[in-house]
Amino acid sequence: MPFNTTTGFIPMATQCLSFEVKASAGPARRGVLRTLRGEVDTPAFMPVGTAATVKAMTPGEVSDLGAQMILANAFHLWVRPGHKLIESLGGLHKFMHWPGPILTDSGGYQVFSLSDRRTVTEDGVRFRTPHDGQYRVLTPEVSVEIQESLGVDIAMAFDECIEWPAERDRVVASTERTTRWLKRCLSARKRPEKTALFGIVQGGFYDDLRAAHAQELSEMDLAGYALGGLSVGEPRDQRKAMAIVGAANLPSDRPRYMMGVGYPVDIVEAVQAGVDLFDCVLPTRSARFGQAFTRFGRLTIKHARYRDDQDPLDPSCACYTCLSFSRAYLRHLHTSNELLSHRLLTLHNLTFYQDLLREIREAIVSGPTALNALEAKAEIWTKPIPA
Ligand SMILES: [Zn+2]
Protein backbone atom coordinates (compact mmCIF):
# COMPACT_ATOMS: atom_id res chain seq x y z
CA MET A 1 0.00 0.00 0.00
CA PRO A 2 1.39 3.44 -0.83
CA PHE A 3 -0.03 5.19 2.25
CA ASN A 4 2.04 5.72 5.39
CA THR A 5 0.45 7.51 8.32
CA THR A 6 3.62 9.44 9.18
CA THR A 7 4.93 10.63 5.83
CA GLY A 8 1.77 10.17 3.80
CA PHE A 9 3.52 7.78 1.45
CA ILE A 10 5.97 4.93 1.34
CA PRO A 11 8.44 5.58 -1.50
CA MET A 12 7.09 3.95 -4.66
CA ALA A 13 9.18 1.41 -6.49
CA THR A 14 10.59 3.20 -9.52
CA GLN A 15 12.90 0.49 -10.85
CA CYS A 16 11.14 0.56 -14.22
CA LEU A 17 12.42 4.10 -14.72
CA SER A 18 15.55 5.98 -13.76
CA PHE A 19 16.94 9.38 -14.63
CA GLU A 20 20.49 10.67 -14.63
CA VAL A 21 21.66 14.24 -15.16
CA LYS A 22 24.89 14.21 -17.20
CA ALA A 23 25.55 17.93 -17.62
CA SER A 24 23.88 21.22 -16.82
CA ALA A 25 23.93 24.87 -17.88
CA GLY A 26 22.25 26.89 -15.17
CA PRO A 27 18.94 25.14 -14.46
CA ALA A 28 19.04 23.40 -17.90
CA ARG A 29 19.94 19.72 -17.75
CA ARG A 30 21.32 17.24 -20.27
CA GLY A 31 20.33 13.79 -19.06
CA VAL A 32 19.33 10.22 -19.81
CA LEU A 33 15.96 8.68 -19.00
CA ARG A 34 16.27 4.90 -18.73
CA THR A 35 13.18 2.76 -19.28
CA LEU A 36 12.65 -0.99 -19.64
CA ARG A 37 12.33 -0.37 -23.39
CA GLY A 38 15.39 1.75 -23.93
CA GLU A 39 17.08 5.05 -23.14
CA VAL A 40 15.92 8.53 -23.99
CA ASP A 41 18.40 11.39 -24.29
CA THR A 42 17.00 14.49 -22.61
CA PRO A 43 15.85 17.15 -23.17
CA ALA A 44 13.63 15.10 -25.50
CA PHE A 45 10.67 15.74 -27.75
CA MET A 46 7.99 13.04 -28.04
CA PRO A 47 6.07 12.97 -31.32
CA VAL A 48 2.34 12.71 -30.65
CA GLY A 49 0.64 9.47 -31.64
CA THR A 50 -2.86 10.20 -30.34
CA ALA A 51 -4.64 7.17 -31.76
CA ALA A 52 -1.67 4.78 -31.61
CA THR A 53 -0.15 6.31 -34.74
CA VAL A 54 2.05 9.31 -35.36
CA LYS A 55 -0.16 10.56 -38.16
CA ALA A 56 1.15 9.80 -41.67
CA MET A 57 4.38 8.16 -40.43
CA THR A 58 5.40 4.53 -39.94
CA PRO A 59 7.02 3.71 -36.59
CA GLY A 60 10.27 2.95 -38.44
CA GLU A 61 10.28 6.45 -39.96
CA VAL A 62 9.63 8.04 -36.56
CA SER A 63 12.52 6.08 -35.06
CA ASP A 64 14.85 6.81 -38.01
CA LEU A 65 14.40 10.57 -37.68
CA GLY A 66 15.67 10.34 -34.11
CA ALA A 67 12.63 10.06 -31.83
CA GLN A 68 13.26 7.69 -28.91
CA MET A 69 9.91 7.95 -27.12
CA ILE A 70 6.40 8.77 -28.29
CA LEU A 71 3.18 9.92 -26.65
CA ALA A 72 -0.19 8.20 -27.06
CA ASN A 73 -3.57 9.20 -25.76
CA ALA A 74 -5.32 7.13 -23.08
CA PHE A 75 -8.68 8.82 -23.68
CA HIS A 76 -8.82 8.14 -27.39
CA LEU A 77 -7.61 4.54 -27.10
CA TRP A 78 -10.12 3.88 -24.28
CA VAL A 79 -12.98 5.11 -26.47
CA ARG A 80 -11.68 3.45 -29.64
CA PRO A 81 -10.69 0.63 -30.05
CA GLY A 82 -10.75 0.03 -26.25
CA HIS A 83 -7.85 -0.59 -23.86
CA LYS A 84 -8.98 -4.16 -23.11
CA LEU A 85 -8.84 -5.07 -26.79
CA ILE A 86 -5.33 -3.63 -27.09
CA GLU A 87 -4.29 -5.51 -23.95
CA SER A 88 -5.69 -8.77 -25.34
CA LEU A 89 -3.66 -8.19 -28.51
CA GLY A 90 -0.43 -7.96 -26.55
CA GLY A 91 -0.37 -4.32 -25.42
CA LEU A 92 0.11 -0.99 -27.14
CA HIS A 93 3.77 -1.46 -28.12
CA LYS A 94 2.96 -4.63 -30.06
CA PHE A 95 -0.36 -3.28 -31.39
CA MET A 96 1.27 -0.25 -33.04
CA HIS A 97 4.68 -1.86 -33.64
CA TRP A 98 6.63 0.70 -31.61
CA PRO A 99 9.18 -1.15 -29.47
CA GLY A 100 10.51 1.95 -27.68
CA PRO A 101 9.15 3.75 -24.64
CA ILE A 102 5.61 5.17 -24.71
CA LEU A 103 4.08 7.79 -22.43
CA THR A 104 0.31 8.23 -22.26
CA ASP A 105 -1.58 11.22 -21.05
CA SER A 106 -4.32 10.44 -18.56
CA GLY A 107 -7.33 11.60 -20.54
CA GLY A 108 -7.87 14.52 -18.18
CA TYR A 109 -7.14 17.16 -20.79
CA GLN A 110 -9.56 15.58 -23.27
CA VAL A 111 -12.52 15.23 -20.89
CA PHE A 112 -12.06 18.77 -19.59
CA SER A 113 -11.98 19.99 -23.19
CA LEU A 114 -15.54 18.66 -23.63
CA SER A 115 -16.78 21.69 -21.73
CA ASP A 116 -20.43 21.52 -22.81
CA ARG A 117 -20.93 17.80 -22.26
CA ARG A 118 -19.23 16.98 -18.98
CA THR A 119 -20.00 17.01 -15.25
CA VAL A 120 -17.14 17.17 -12.75
CA THR A 121 -17.55 15.66 -9.28
CA GLU A 122 -15.10 14.54 -6.61
CA ASP A 123 -15.35 11.04 -8.05
CA GLY A 124 -14.27 12.06 -11.57
CA VAL A 125 -15.69 13.38 -14.81
CA ARG A 126 -18.93 12.14 -16.45
CA PHE A 127 -19.13 13.01 -20.11
CA ARG A 128 -20.60 12.09 -23.49
CA THR A 129 -18.08 10.78 -25.97
CA PRO A 130 -17.95 12.65 -29.25
CA HIS A 131 -17.61 9.33 -31.13
CA ASP A 132 -20.82 7.54 -30.16
CA GLY A 133 -22.74 9.87 -27.80
CA GLN A 134 -22.50 7.34 -24.94
CA TYR A 135 -22.03 8.51 -21.34
CA ARG A 136 -18.79 7.45 -19.65
CA VAL A 137 -17.13 8.28 -16.34
CA LEU A 138 -13.38 8.86 -16.18
CA THR A 139 -11.95 8.63 -12.67
CA PRO A 140 -8.38 8.39 -11.36
CA GLU A 141 -8.86 4.62 -10.99
CA VAL A 142 -10.20 4.18 -14.52
CA SER A 143 -7.39 6.30 -15.96
CA VAL A 144 -4.72 4.17 -14.25
CA GLU A 145 -6.45 0.97 -15.36
CA ILE A 146 -6.51 2.16 -18.99
CA GLN A 147 -2.85 3.15 -19.00
CA GLU A 148 -1.64 0.00 -17.23
CA SER A 149 -3.72 -2.18 -19.56
CA LEU A 150 -2.09 -0.49 -22.54
CA GLY A 151 1.22 -1.45 -20.91
CA VAL A 152 2.86 1.92 -21.37
CA ASP A 153 6.18 2.85 -19.76
CA ILE A 154 5.00 6.14 -18.26
CA ALA A 155 1.44 6.91 -17.20
CA MET A 156 0.25 10.35 -16.23
CA ALA A 157 -1.86 10.99 -13.15
CA PHE A 158 -5.47 12.04 -13.74
CA ASP A 159 -5.64 15.72 -12.80
CA GLU A 160 -8.16 18.52 -12.94
CA CYS A 161 -7.34 20.94 -15.74
CA ILE A 162 -7.91 24.55 -14.72
CA GLU A 163 -8.96 27.15 -17.24
CA TRP A 164 -7.00 30.38 -17.70
CA PRO A 165 -7.49 32.89 -16.21
CA ALA A 166 -8.89 31.52 -12.93
CA GLU A 167 -9.52 33.12 -9.53
CA ARG A 168 -7.21 32.16 -6.70
CA ASP A 169 -9.92 30.35 -4.69
CA ARG A 170 -10.82 28.28 -7.71
CA VAL A 171 -7.15 27.39 -8.31
CA VAL A 172 -6.66 26.39 -4.66
CA ALA A 173 -9.71 24.10 -4.65
CA SER A 174 -8.81 22.56 -8.00
CA THR A 175 -5.16 21.98 -7.07
CA GLU A 176 -6.21 20.27 -3.83
CA ARG A 177 -8.49 17.99 -5.83
CA THR A 178 -5.63 17.17 -8.19
CA THR A 179 -3.59 16.06 -5.16
CA ARG A 180 -6.45 13.89 -3.88
CA TRP A 181 -6.82 12.36 -7.35
CA LEU A 182 -3.07 11.72 -7.50
CA LYS A 183 -3.27 9.76 -4.22
CA ARG A 184 -6.13 7.72 -5.69
CA CYS A 185 -4.03 7.07 -8.82
CA LEU A 186 -1.17 5.81 -6.65
CA SER A 187 -3.49 3.50 -4.71
CA ALA A 188 -5.04 2.15 -7.92
CA ARG A 189 -1.77 0.96 -9.44
CA LYS A 190 -1.48 -2.76 -10.05
CA ARG A 191 1.69 -2.88 -12.19
CA PRO A 192 4.17 -0.34 -10.75
CA GLU A 193 7.03 -2.58 -11.86
CA LYS A 194 6.07 -2.00 -15.52
CA THR A 195 4.40 1.40 -15.67
CA ALA A 196 5.85 4.45 -13.90
CA LEU A 197 3.48 7.20 -12.78
CA PHE A 198 4.19 10.92 -13.15
CA GLY A 199 2.36 13.45 -10.97
CA ILE A 200 1.19 16.77 -12.40
CA VAL A 201 1.97 20.09 -10.74
CA GLN A 202 -0.91 22.56 -10.94
CA GLY A 203 -1.29 25.79 -8.98
CA GLY A 204 -2.46 27.96 -11.86
CA PHE A 205 -0.46 31.12 -12.47
CA TYR A 206 0.15 31.96 -8.80
CA ASP A 207 3.84 31.68 -7.88
CA ASP A 208 3.23 30.61 -4.30
CA LEU A 209 0.51 28.07 -5.17
CA ARG A 210 2.62 26.48 -7.88
CA ALA A 211 5.71 26.33 -5.65
CA ALA A 212 3.70 24.83 -2.80
CA HIS A 213 2.13 22.20 -5.04
CA ALA A 214 5.50 21.24 -6.54
CA GLN A 215 6.89 20.82 -3.02
CA GLU A 216 3.89 18.80 -1.90
CA LEU A 217 4.21 16.40 -4.85
CA SER A 218 7.99 16.18 -4.39
CA GLU A 219 7.41 14.60 -0.98
CA MET A 220 5.49 11.77 -2.68
CA ASP A 221 8.70 10.48 -4.27
CA LEU A 222 7.24 9.97 -7.76
CA ALA A 223 9.17 8.68 -10.77
CA GLY A 224 8.73 12.01 -12.54
CA TYR A 225 6.75 15.22 -12.56
CA ALA A 226 4.84 17.21 -15.15
CA LEU A 227 4.17 20.92 -15.17
CA GLY A 228 0.46 21.02 -15.96
CA GLY A 229 -2.04 23.73 -16.74
CA LEU A 230 0.34 25.59 -19.07
CA SER A 231 -0.12 26.51 -22.74
CA VAL A 232 -3.80 27.28 -22.12
CA GLY A 233 -3.79 30.72 -23.72
CA GLU A 234 -1.63 32.56 -21.19
CA PRO A 235 1.04 35.12 -22.22
CA ARG A 236 4.46 33.63 -22.85
CA ASP A 237 6.17 35.43 -19.96
CA GLN A 238 3.64 33.95 -17.52
CA ARG A 239 4.30 30.43 -18.79
CA LYS A 240 8.02 31.03 -18.48
CA ALA A 241 7.62 32.26 -14.90
CA MET A 242 5.56 29.19 -13.94
CA ALA A 243 8.09 26.85 -15.56
CA ILE A 244 10.88 28.43 -13.53
CA VAL A 245 9.05 28.30 -10.21
CA GLY A 246 7.68 24.80 -10.88
CA ALA A 247 11.01 23.26 -11.89
CA ALA A 248 12.90 24.99 -9.06
CA ASN A 249 10.65 23.30 -6.49
CA LEU A 250 10.87 19.76 -7.91
CA PRO A 251 13.54 17.18 -7.00
CA SER A 252 16.65 17.55 -9.18
CA ASP A 253 17.02 13.79 -9.71
CA ARG A 254 13.63 13.25 -11.38
CA PRO A 255 12.57 14.05 -14.95
CA ARG A 256 10.36 17.09 -15.53
CA TYR A 257 7.84 17.14 -18.33
CA MET A 258 6.05 20.16 -19.80
CA MET A 259 2.88 18.90 -21.45
CA GLY A 260 1.73 20.13 -24.84
CA VAL A 261 4.49 22.73 -25.47
CA GLY A 262 5.18 24.10 -28.00
CA TYR A 263 6.93 26.31 -30.56
CA PRO A 264 10.75 26.07 -30.87
CA VAL A 265 11.36 29.14 -28.68
CA ASP A 266 8.89 27.87 -26.03
CA ILE A 267 10.85 24.63 -25.80
CA VAL A 268 14.23 26.37 -25.47
CA GLU A 269 12.82 28.65 -22.76
CA ALA A 270 11.40 25.72 -20.81
CA VAL A 271 14.71 23.86 -21.09
CA GLN A 272 16.40 26.93 -19.63
CA ALA A 273 14.00 26.65 -16.70
CA GLY A 274 15.01 23.00 -16.17
CA VAL A 275 12.41 21.00 -18.15
CA ASP A 276 13.47 17.67 -19.69
CA LEU A 277 10.53 16.27 -21.68
CA PHE A 278 8.16 17.72 -24.26
CA ASP A 279 5.34 16.71 -26.56
CA CYS A 280 3.26 18.76 -28.93
CA VAL A 281 0.98 18.27 -31.94
CA LEU A 282 2.50 21.32 -33.68
CA PRO A 283 5.00 19.58 -36.00
CA THR A 284 2.53 16.91 -37.11
CA ARG A 285 -0.65 19.03 -37.21
CA SER A 286 1.03 22.00 -38.91
CA ALA A 287 2.36 19.66 -41.58
CA ARG A 288 -1.14 18.60 -42.53
CA PHE A 289 -2.08 22.27 -42.85
CA GLY A 290 0.89 22.93 -45.12
CA GLN A 291 3.18 24.60 -42.58
CA ALA A 292 6.87 23.72 -42.34
CA PHE A 293 9.29 24.67 -39.57
CA THR A 294 12.54 25.98 -41.07
CA ARG A 295 15.67 27.92 -40.06
CA PHE A 296 14.04 30.97 -41.69
CA GLY A 297 10.78 30.72 -39.76
CA ARG A 298 7.48 28.96 -40.32
CA LEU A 299 6.91 28.48 -44.01
CA THR A 300 3.39 28.29 -45.48
CA ILE A 301 3.84 26.15 -48.56
CA LYS A 302 0.66 27.26 -50.36
CA HIS A 303 1.96 30.81 -50.82
CA ALA A 304 2.29 31.76 -54.49
CA ARG A 305 5.96 32.73 -54.01
CA TYR A 306 6.83 29.01 -53.87
CA ARG A 307 5.08 28.14 -57.16
CA ASP A 308 8.34 27.88 -59.11
CA ASP A 309 10.80 27.70 -56.18
CA GLN A 310 13.35 24.96 -56.83
CA ASP A 311 14.99 25.11 -53.39
CA PRO A 312 14.28 22.49 -50.74
CA LEU A 313 12.04 23.45 -47.81
CA ASP A 314 15.12 24.07 -45.68
CA PRO A 315 18.56 23.76 -47.35
CA SER A 316 20.17 23.05 -43.97
CA CYS A 317 17.90 20.05 -43.31
CA ALA A 318 19.05 16.53 -44.19
CA CYS A 319 15.63 14.84 -44.12
CA TYR A 320 14.37 12.79 -47.09
CA THR A 321 11.91 15.56 -48.02
CA CYS A 322 14.60 18.24 -48.18
CA LEU A 323 17.11 16.01 -49.95
CA SER A 324 14.58 15.00 -52.61
CA PHE A 325 11.95 17.63 -53.37
CA SER A 326 11.57 21.30 -54.27
CA ARG A 327 9.23 23.76 -52.59
CA ALA A 328 7.43 24.01 -55.96
CA TYR A 329 6.66 20.28 -55.92
CA LEU A 330 5.62 20.31 -52.26
CA ARG A 331 3.34 23.29 -52.96
CA HIS A 332 1.81 21.39 -55.87
CA LEU A 333 1.17 18.33 -53.65
CA HIS A 334 -0.40 20.47 -50.94
CA THR A 335 -2.65 22.50 -53.22
CA SER A 336 -3.69 19.28 -55.01
CA ASN A 337 -4.58 17.77 -51.62
CA GLU A 338 -2.28 14.80 -52.24
CA LEU A 339 -1.65 12.41 -49.32
CA LEU A 340 2.09 12.52 -49.98
CA SER A 341 2.06 16.18 -48.90
CA HIS A 342 1.08 15.10 -45.37
CA ARG A 343 3.80 12.47 -45.26
CA LEU A 344 6.62 14.63 -46.61
CA LEU A 345 5.85 17.71 -44.49
CA THR A 346 5.36 15.62 -41.34
CA LEU A 347 8.67 13.87 -41.95
CA HIS A 348 10.39 17.23 -42.31
CA ASN A 349 8.72 18.88 -39.29
CA LEU A 350 9.45 15.96 -36.98
CA THR A 351 13.06 15.96 -38.20
CA PHE A 352 13.22 19.70 -37.48
CA TYR A 353 12.03 19.12 -33.90
CA GLN A 354 14.44 16.23 -33.29
CA ASP A 355 17.29 18.35 -34.72
CA LEU A 356 16.23 21.23 -32.44
CA LEU A 357 16.36 18.99 -29.37
CA ARG A 358 19.75 17.61 -30.41
CA GLU A 359 21.05 21.19 -30.76
CA ILE A 360 19.61 21.98 -27.33
CA ARG A 361 21.41 18.98 -25.78
CA GLU A 362 24.68 20.03 -27.42
CA ALA A 363 24.20 23.64 -26.27
CA ILE A 364 23.67 22.55 -22.65
CA VAL A 365 26.99 20.72 -22.73
CA SER A 366 28.64 23.84 -24.24
CA GLY A 367 27.20 26.12 -21.56
CA PRO A 368 24.68 28.92 -20.91
CA THR A 369 26.07 31.21 -23.66
CA ALA A 370 25.42 28.57 -26.33
CA LEU A 371 21.93 27.99 -24.96
CA ASN A 372 21.16 31.72 -25.03
CA ALA A 373 22.38 31.91 -28.62
CA LEU A 374 20.10 29.00 -29.52
CA GLU A 375 17.15 30.76 -27.86
CA ALA A 376 17.73 33.79 -30.10
CA LYS A 377 17.74 31.54 -33.17
CA ALA A 378 14.64 29.64 -32.01
CA GLU A 379 12.86 32.98 -31.75
CA ILE A 380 13.40 33.46 -35.51
CA TRP A 381 12.45 29.84 -36.28
CA THR A 382 9.13 30.35 -34.48
CA LYS A 383 8.00 33.43 -36.46
CA PRO A 384 5.93 32.97 -39.64
CA ILE A 385 7.62 33.87 -42.92
CA PRO A 386 5.51 36.65 -44.48
CA ALA A 387 3.59 35.76 -47.65
ZN1 LIG B 1 13.74 18.59 -44.06
| pLDDT tens, position by position, 272-300 | 999 999 999 999 999 999 999 999 999 99
State yes or no: pLDDT of 9 exceeds 90: no
Task: Compute the distance between CA of residue 341 and CA of residue 343 in angstroms, rounded to an integer.
Answer: 5
Distance from Cα 351 to the centre of ligand 1, integer Å: 6
Distance from Cα 65 to the centre of ligand 1, integer Å: 10
The closest of 317, 296, 254 to 381, measured between CA atoms, is 296
The neighbour count for residue 315, using CB atoms within 10 Å, is 10
105 is annotated as an active-site residue: yes
Q: Which residues contact 285 (CB under 8 A, 6 or more apart)?
A: none
CA dihedral 288, 293, 296, 299 (to 10 degrees): 10
Q: Which of 159, 266, 276, 279 is catalytic?
A: 279
Q: Which of 105, 153, 314, 355 is catalytic?
A: 105
Q: What is the pLDDT of residues 33-68, one digit of tens each?
A: 999 999 999 999 999 999 999 999 999 999 999 999
Distance from Cα 172 to the centre of ligand 1, integer Å: 45
User: What pTM did the predictor assign?
Assistant: 0.95
pLDDT, mean of residues 204-225:
97
pLDDT, mean of residues 67-96:
97
State yes or no: pLDDT of 6 exceeds 80: no
Distance from Cα 163 to the centre of ligand 1, integer Å: 36
Task: Compute the distance between CA of residue 285 and CA of residue 289 in angstroms, rounded to an integer.
Answer: 7
Distance from Cα 311 to the centre of ligand 1, integer Å: 11
Task: Compute the distance between CA of residue 76 and CA of residue 88 in angstroms, rounded to an integer.
Answer: 17
pLDDT of residue 5: 39
